[in-house]
Structure 1
Amino acid sequence: MPLIQNRDIVIIGLQQWYTAIGSNCKNIAQEFARHNRVLYINAPLDRRTILNGKGDPHVQYHLDTKEKKVPSIVPISHNLWNFYPSVVLESINWLPSTRLFSWFNKRNNRKFADSIREAVTAMNFKDIILFNDNDIFRGYYLKELLQPERYVYYSRDYLLGVPYWQKHGQLLEPRHIAKADVAVANSLYLAEMLQQHNPASYYVGQGCDLQLFDAQIKHSVPADVPVGKGPVIGYVGALKSLRLDINILLKIAKERPQWQLVLVGPEDEDFLRSALHQLPNVHFTGKKDISVLPAYVQSFDVCINPQVLNTVTVGNYPLKIDEYLAMGKPVVATATKTMELFKDYVYLAATADYYVPLIEKAIAENTDQLTAARIQFAGTHTWENSVKAIYQAILNTSGHSL
């Protein structure tokens, strides 16, 4: 039986439900809803979003709820509903003073809280658990304004590495974390960051939907993967210099010209201009539909994650590692605090110089037994297990009973 059940849970966060890409929070909401009633709140519109979103049907739907033309609460599945707040917030991040920003932010929070309260009343939700997916500003005062039974702050990205959040978040996020009843994170690095501000902070792991990455299904090798020209070393994901180290890729390709380096995903400007495009053993496939990604991963001899270490990436949990492992593949990745979780199953490179020898080691040591162990390990990273850890963290908090 689940640790928490038959409760009413309200979720706020950074991502609208209707955003096409998946997110941790949407998966968590679906897992919560297996045994609880869940109301997933879309982020309210602000003036800038309305101005830039003309013609967007989702923005228009938001606006239509304000005029009562369409329902603001939309069922998603059993026990799970999506709420479109009808309020419009002011765009205030441009304000130079955090003190002035906070004054206007409290006004925004009051409007947001009033809208949430209307939805909670309409749904007849009682004694809610309020779960905040990393929304530093729009959720800052909601604990005080909504008086939930528990207020949970969830960290899954180091937002302060991004200028937008750093401007006022440098001061406000630590205060926000400190006043949460419980704070939880999906990476060890972020959990340690939370613990600096709130002793009721916990690492809850990362769930993954790995049904697509099933090693038992055999795929044909994609036509743009070179066959018979030497070991294939591959990466799947967006090719962005903010997150990936181009120099590591250059080093691999130049030091081992007999290896074929296959990079699957859309490129940013830095990648498009990089010297990688002049190397005959580097192959760019472009963006691919997620449905064909397992075929690429299966075609690789070794999968890599040559991550740049910076304030944006250092706390990340790289989901692609679980996808690689679920396919049974040897993996070489940049060593980070979070990657310590994978140390028994992944070859960790402390610097760029480690990549080539570790890839060679990964090829030489690969066995059916290691393949099976990787698949089994990846299979433990389920949303059920992650949400169970969230439930336990909530129950660990003192001063209340659930």
Structure 2
Amino acid sequence: MEPFDSIVCVGQTTWEGDFQKAVVQLMCEFSVRHRVLYVDYQHTYKDLLMGVAGQRGVPVRTMMRLSSQLVKKPGKKGSEVYVWHPPTMLPINWLSPERHDRLITWNVNRLVKSLRSVLRQLGMKRPLIINGMNPVFGLPMLHQLNEAGTIYYCFDEISIARWMNRHGGRYEDEYLRRVNAVVTTSETLLQTKALRQPNAFCVKNGVNFELFYQARQLAENRPPQKPVVGYLGTADNRINVDIVEHCVREMSDVTFQFIGEIKEPTLTERLSRYPNVVFTPPHQPTDLPPLLARLSAAMIPFVCNEHTYTIYPLKINEYLAAGLPVVSTPFSILDDFAGVVEMASSPEVFVQALRRALADQSPERIAQRVDMARNNSWEQRSHEFEAIFRQLILQHS
């Protein structure tokens, strides 16, 4: 990889949203020391039609070019990130491999043509491309932007992820072989991706420490009045509903609060009848600290399977930054949290662990949890990532 004058991130997620996104947090940190352009989610004509009909929350005005496609967003420490919304794409993910592969070229050419114009406008002549879990676009985009190099940022197992597994796995295999390096967010992902790309590194998910530490400060001023165990984020098929329901039933004196979108119907079907379960809709990240300040403990009751085994969850450090005791199932390699996060693999053991967590409120233990999260901040993770940049450039020189 050669020296670069800017960073261009091709994302698979929108910049905006109701939850913290690893790639967005990293770009904000990078913008302190680099010029950064984020290529936003590639919306399709289907998205546009559904948006016009009011059936989907998409940036209709931007997609119809009634508002600027290139905007500035705040980064960190007064920095800014350029966020560019690409042209509207053909909806092809549902197609067979043969038809999809013919039409992806049209989509990519449309994106690259406009992106080159944006790069000229911004004076980004030799960018480093960071591909955020989007090999379907990444593979045909290789060597089209005068890039100094390309790093694949992999934060999920693409062959299992519902939103990318139809075509993503086919593209990822070849993409891994042709990029300069891959950076994963978990040790388990590192093990699998290193089989195809020798320049493989792990930079685990971090936390927006300043934001989530606000919850600890609020709780110190107004401690929770009753025991509340919380779950933050999307509740989907990763949740072990059997464990959660057993805890809810056996701990009727404790409120269980789910903060975020519920995508697993079984969860609401089985838990809605319990008076000690509360479902709170998604909130913007900046609105989360007051909610977390009311919690007494937090949980990550994931099922243990091949998908969750690849995960390093964002929420674990968010909980710790708030000073909360955490109980989790042993769904992945989480050795970093030994002695701080308690693991429980069965419903009965999970109940016992939650009882201990609710009592684990000493100032020393709270400080231990907060310090661990502080050391796992996104600022720290960005420095780990930049060390990889330097290593790759040295390999080339």
TM range, smaller chain = 0.7 to 0.9
The residue aligned with 2:328 is: 333
Distance 1:132 1:239, change over 3 A: closer
Distance 1:150 1:172, change over 3 A: same
The residue aligned with 2:50 is: 52
The residue aligned with 1:162 is: 161
Query: How many Å apart are 1:184 and its aligned residue?
Result: 0.6
8 Å CA contact 1:156–1:185 kept in 2: the answer is yes
The residue aligned with 1:32 is: 30
| In structure 2, C-alpha distance between the alignment counterparts of 1:19 and 1:239, rounded to whole Å | 12
| In structure 1, C-alpha distance between the alignment counterparts of 2:183 and 2:73, rounded to whole Å | 26
The residue aligned with 2:241 is: 246
| In structure 2, C-alpha distance between the alignment counterparts of 1:26 and 1:298, rounded to whole Å | 25
The within-5 A match list for 1:58-69 is 58-64=59-65
Query: How many Å apart are 1:285 and its aligned residue?
Result: 4.6
Write the deviation string for residues 29-54 of structure 1: whole angstroms up to 9, x where unpaired: 11111111111112344232222222
The residue aligned with 1:85 is: 86
Aligned-pair identity (%) = 20
| In structure 1, C-alpha distance between the alignment counterparts of 2:169 and 2:287, rounded to whole Å | 40
The residue aligned with 1:138 is: 137
Residue 389 of structure 2 is aligned to residue 394 of structure 1:
yes
Write the deviation string for residues 243-293 of structure 1: whole angstroms up to 9, x where unpaired: 211110122233444x4142232545322210x33445x231532645664
Write the deviation string for residues 66-122 of structure 1: whole angstroms up to 9, x where unpaired: xxx654432335453222333x432222222x2442232233222222221121122
The within-5 A match list for 1:158-237 is 158-214=157-213, 215-217=216-218, 218-220=220-222, 227=226, 232-237=227-232
| In structure 2, C-alpha distance between the alignment counterparts of 1:241 and 1:84, rounded to whole Å | 28
Deviates more, 1:114-123 or 1:313-322: 313-322
When the two chains are superposed, the root-mean-square deviation of aligned CA atoms in Å is 2.9
8 Å CA contact 1:233–1:304 kept in 2: the answer is no
The residue aligned with 1:121 is: 120
Query: How many Å apart are 1:170 and its aligned residue?
Result: 2.5
| In structure 2, C-alpha distance between the alignment counterparts of 1:171 and 1:142, rounded to whole Å | 16
Write the deviation string for residues 322-356 of structure 1: whole angstroms up to 9, x where unpaired: 12212322211011334222123101123434312
The residue aligned with 1:277 is: 272
One-letter code of the match for 2:62? Y
Task: Name structure 2 gaps, 5 residues minimum.
Answer: none
Distance 1:277 1:47, change over 3 A: closer
Normalized against structure 1, the TM-score is what? 0.84
Query: How many Å apart are 1:13 and its aligned residue?
Result: 0.6
Write the deviation string for residues 16-37 of structure 1: whole angstroms up to 9, x where unpaired: 3344644222221111111111
SS at structure 2 position matched to 1:357? helix
One-letter code of the match for 1:207? G
One-letter code of the match for 1:394? F
| In structure 1, C-alpha distance between the alignment counterparts of 2:296 and 2:81, rounded to whole Å | 41
8 Å CA contact 2:322–2:370 kept in 1: the answer is yes
One-letter code of the match for 1:82? V
One-letter code of the match for 2:85? Y
8 Å CA contact 1:233–1:260 kept in 2: the answer is yes
Residue 74 of structure 2 is aligned to residue 74 of structure 1:
no
8 Å CA contact 1:297–1:303 kept in 2: the answer is no
| In structure 1, C-alpha distance between the alignment counterparts of 2:72 and 2:114, rounded to whole Å | 18
